[in-house]
Amino acid sequence: MEEKKYLKWYNKVGYGSGDIAGNVVFAFLSSFIMIYLTNTVGLNAGVIGSLIAASKVLDGISDVVFGSMIDRTHTKMGKARPWMLGAYFGCAITLIAAFSVPTTMGKTSQYVWFFITYLLLNAGFYTANNIAYSTLTALITKNVKERVQMGSIRFMFAFGTSFIIQTITVGLVQKLGGGAEGWRTIAIIYAIIGLISNTLTVFSVKELPEEELRNGEEKVEEKYSLIESIKMLVHNKYYIVILVVDILRQTYSAIINCGIYYMTYVLGKAELLGTFSGAINLALIVGLAFLPMLVAKYKGYYKLNFSGYLIAAAGRGIVIIAGYMGNVPLMLAGTAIGAIGMAPWQGNLNALVAECSEHTFLQYGKRIDGTMYSCTSMGLKVGSGLGTAIVGWLLNFGGFNGQLKVQSQSCINMLHFMYLWLPMIINILVALLLTQLNVEKATVKAEPSLLKTLLYNLIDNACKASESGKPVTLTGYVDSDRYRFCVTDSG
C-alpha cells in the first residue's frame, strides 16, 4: 500500500529553503570568524580555540533542553514553528555582534565580547531555531519518502548557500571598505537575508494536528521529565552513534571551511577557498539530487551511508597525494569525489533521526521527537565548534602569526596536516561508526516490544477501571509508519 502524501512540491521547497537562513549564520561563522579575529582584530588563535571549546560545554546542554521544551510546546502554530520564528531574531543580532568586536577595546575585553556573543548565538538562539527546523521533518509529514525528499532539498539549499558565501565574502568585505567595517557590514547583510528566508519557511508549511500524529488516539498528557527524556536518549544506541557521527562530520566541515589559511599561505591565493567550496558544494548538490533514487535502490540508509563514506575517504586520499604534488586540479577532483560520498548522510540525516525516534517510541511508547532531533543541532554546533577550536590550537602550536604575510615552515607543515590528513582520518572514523547504524532493522525488531507494553497498560487500566464498578472500553493504538493496529478490551 502506498503511503499517504502530505506535502505539495512548494511545501518541500519552502521547507528546504530554510537552510538559507541557517547557513548565512553557520557557513559565514565557521568559514570566517577565525580569520576575522586573528587577521583583523589581532587575537591569538589558540586563545580563540580555547574559548570556543569552553562554550561547547553549555552548548551541548542547551540542545537537549530546547528539544525537550519543543516537545512540550502546544500552540496554534504547532510545536516547532513558534521557536523557529522567534529565535532567528536573536540569531541575526548576535551574528552581527560577533563580527563587530570593538577595535578600541583592550585585548581582554575583546576576548570577553567574542565569547559572550558566540555563546549567546550558538547555545541560545541558533540552537532553538535549528532544533525546531529539524523537528519539523517529523511534524509536517509521516511519509518516509517525503522526509528523504525534504532532506535532499534542504541540503541543496544549504550547500548552495555555503558555496555562495565562501565564494563572494572575501571580495565583498574588500568592496565594503575592508577591515572591521567591511566584516560588520557583510554580517548585517547576511543577517537580513537570513531573517527573510527563515520567515518565509515558517509560513510555507503547517504542522499536522496532534491527533493525526497520534493516529487518532486520545491525547495522553506528556508526564515524563527532562531527565526521563535524556535516559531514553542514552538507552538508544543509534541516537548516540548518530550524534557522534554528526559531531565528527561537522568537525570535518569546520576544518575544511577554515581552509582559507591553507589557500592563503600554502597555495598562495585566498580566493581558492571559493573554488574548493564550489567543488564540494556542487558535488554534494549532484549527489543529493540522486539520493531518493539511491535510497530506494539500496532499500534504506544503512548500506548507502557506509558505502558513501568509503568513497569519501578515498576522495580525501587523492587530495593528500595531490596536495604534496601541488596539483590543484587533482586536489579539486579528489575534493569533489569525497563530497559525493558524503552526500547520502547529509541528505538522509533528518529521515534517519526520525527512524531513530520511531525506535524509541516502539521501545517506550513515548514520543520525544524534539529531544531526539537535538542531536542534529548538538552535532552541528559541538562539531563545528570543536573543529574551529582544533584549527585555532593547531595554528597556535604551529607558530601562526596573523600579522605576517609569509608563515614559518613549522606553520606550513601544520597546515598540511590540518587540511590534508585530519579530514581523511575523520572520514575513516565515520565509516567505522556507520557499521553500527542499522536502525531500520532494529526498528522492525522493536515493534513486538511496544505491543507488549501496550497490552500491559491496557490490562492495568482495565483492572483499575473495573475496581470502580464502571463499564470499561479501552482502545490502544500503535503509531508507526510501518505498523498500524489496534487492541480493544471491553468490560
User: 167-194 pLDDT, tens per residue?
Assistant: 899 889 989 988 999 999 999 999 999 9
Residue 127 CB contacts under 8 Å (≥ 6 apart), including other chains: 59, 62, 63, 66, 87, 377, 381
In this predicted structure, the answer to whether residue 122 has a pLDDT above a threshold of 90 is: no
Specify the pLDDT at position 196: 95
In this predicted structure, the answer to whether residue 266 has a pLDDT above a threshold of 90 is: yes
Question: CB of 80 within 8 A of CB of 370?
Answer: yes
Confidence of residue 459 (pLDDT cuts 50, 70, 90): low
Spatial distance between the Cα atoms of 309 and 304, rounded to a whole number of angstroms: 9
- Other CB atoms within 10 Å distance of the CB of residue 102: 11
User: Residue range 279-298: average pLDDT?
Assistant: 79
User: Residue range 318-333: average pLDDT?
Assistant: 94
In this predicted structure, the answer to whether residue 228 has a pLDDT above a threshold of 80 is: no
Specify the pLDDT at position 20: 93
Confidence of residue 490 (pLDDT cuts 50, 70, 90): very low
In this predicted structure, the answer to whether residue 475 has a pLDDT above a threshold of 60 is: no
Confidence of residue 336 (pLDDT cuts 50, 70, 90): very high
Question: CB of 467 within 8 A of CB of 442?
Answer: no
In this predicted structure, the answer to whether residue 218 has a pLDDT above a threshold of 50 is: no
- 46-65 tens-digit pLDDT: 999 899 888 876 776 777 77
In this predicted structure, the answer to whether residue 441 has a pLDDT above a threshold of 70 is: no
Specify the pLDDT at position 374: 65
| Alpha-carbon distances of 285 from 156, 158, 227, 328, 349, rounded to whole Å | 5, 9, 39, 22, 15
Specify the pLDDT at position 466: 59
Higher pLDDT, residue 447 or 350: 350
Residue % of the chain over a pLDDT of 90:
34
- Partners of 486 in the beta sheet? 477
Spatial distance between the Cα atoms of 282 and 229, rounded to a whole number of angstroms: 39
